[in-house]
Amino acid sequence: MLRSSNPILSKRDAFTPAAPQYGQSPYGSPQYGPSQGFAPYPGQQGPAPYGQQPGGAPEARMTFDDVVTKTAVTMGTLVAFAAVAWNIMPPSLYFPGMVVSGLVGFVVVLLVSFRRVVSPPLVLAYAAIEGVFIGLLSKVFEQVYPGIVAQAVVATFFAAGATLAAYKIFNIRVTAKFQKIVFISTLAFAALMLVNFIFSLASGSGGLRGGIVGPVTPMALGISAIAIVLAVLNLVLDFDYIERGVQMGAPASESWRGAFGLTVTMVWLYVEMLRLISYLRR
C-alpha cells in the first residue's frame, strides 16, 4: 500500500494499484474466500475492488498528464474566484470574508482528506473557497504594498519550479525518516498557527507574526522562513507521492487527489511568500 506523510495525501487508500483482480489484494494474496468468511453466494457478485468499475471493467490508470491537467483545473478555478473576490467584494467585507473563507476552506480540506475515494466536486469547492480567501488577502496586501502580489506569484512559482528541478536532477529519494520529520513538523506548525489565529482574533493583535503594517520582529521573520521551508519540503513529498502513484498504477481518479495536494501546498507557499516579502519591504 502506497502511503504518504503529506497531511493532505496521507489517506490510507489514496493510491493503490489500479484494477486488482477480484478476490486478490494489491499484493496478490486472497482477499475473499471461504477461509475469510466473505465468499459470495453462488451467482452473486461481490463488491468491486477499489480501482475497478462495478461492471468489472478496470479503471484507467493515473498518469502525470492527468495530474497536470487536474492541477491546472483546480488552480484555474482558484484564480478565477480570486479575481472575482478582488474586483467585487467591498472593503467592508474584506476581513469577515477572509475569516469565513479561511475557516470553511480548512473544513473542506479535512473532508477531502478523510474520504477514501476523492471527490472532484469537493476539490473544486475547495479551490473556489480558497480563491475567495486568496483574492481578498492579496487585495489587502496590494493596497499597502503595491506590486507585492506579482512578486509573490513569481517567487512562489520559482520556488516550486526549483524544487521540482532539484527533485528530478538530484534524484531525491524520500525516506521514512524524512517523511516523519516533515509530517510532525507540519502538524506542529499548523497547530501553532491555529492557536496564534485564535489569539489574534481574541486580542485584536497580529499575534506572533504581527500585522500587515508595523515593525517586523525577528520572530515573525523566523516563522515565515520556517513556513516556506516546510511548504517546499511538502512539495517534495507531493512530487514523490505522485511519482510512486503513477509507477504503481493508481486509478485515474486519484489524479484529483494529487492535484488537490499540490494546490493546497502551492496556496500555503504563496501566502508565506506574500508575508515574507511584506516584511522585507517595510
Biggest CA pair distance of the chain: 75
Query: What are the grid coordinates assigned to 251, written together?
Result: 486509478
Residues 6+ apart with CB under 8 A from 49: 19, 20, 21, 22, 24, 31
pLDDT in tens, 150-188: 999 999 999 999 999 999 998 888 899 999 999 999 999
- The residues with which 2 forms a beta bridge, in sequence order, are 15
pTM metric for this prediction: 0.79
> Cell digits for 142?
496590494
Check residue 14 and give its pLDDT: 45
Query: Distance between CA 41 and CA 113 in Å, rounded?
Result: 35
Q: What is residue 57's predicted lDDT score, i.e. its pLDDT? A: 54
Tens-digit pLDDT profile for residues 109-157: 989 888 888 899 999 999 999 999 999 999 999 999 999 999 999 999 9
Q: How is residue 92 annotated by DSSP?
A: G
Nearest to 68 by CA among 264, 267, 263: 263
CA distance 68 to 2: 20
User: Could you report the per-residue pLDDT of 246-271, keeping only the tens digit for each?
Assistant: 999 889 888 999 999 999 999 999 99
Q: How is residue 2 annotated by DSSP?
A: B
What number is the average pLDDT over the span 9-34? 41
- Locate cell 519550479: which residue? 161
Rg of the chain on CA atoms, in Å: 21
pLDDT, one tens digit per residue, over 28-51 is 433 333 333 333 434 444 444 445
Nearest to 248 by CA among 45, 18, 10, 3: 18
Angle formed at CA 211 by CA 205 and CA 215, multiple of 5 degrees: 110
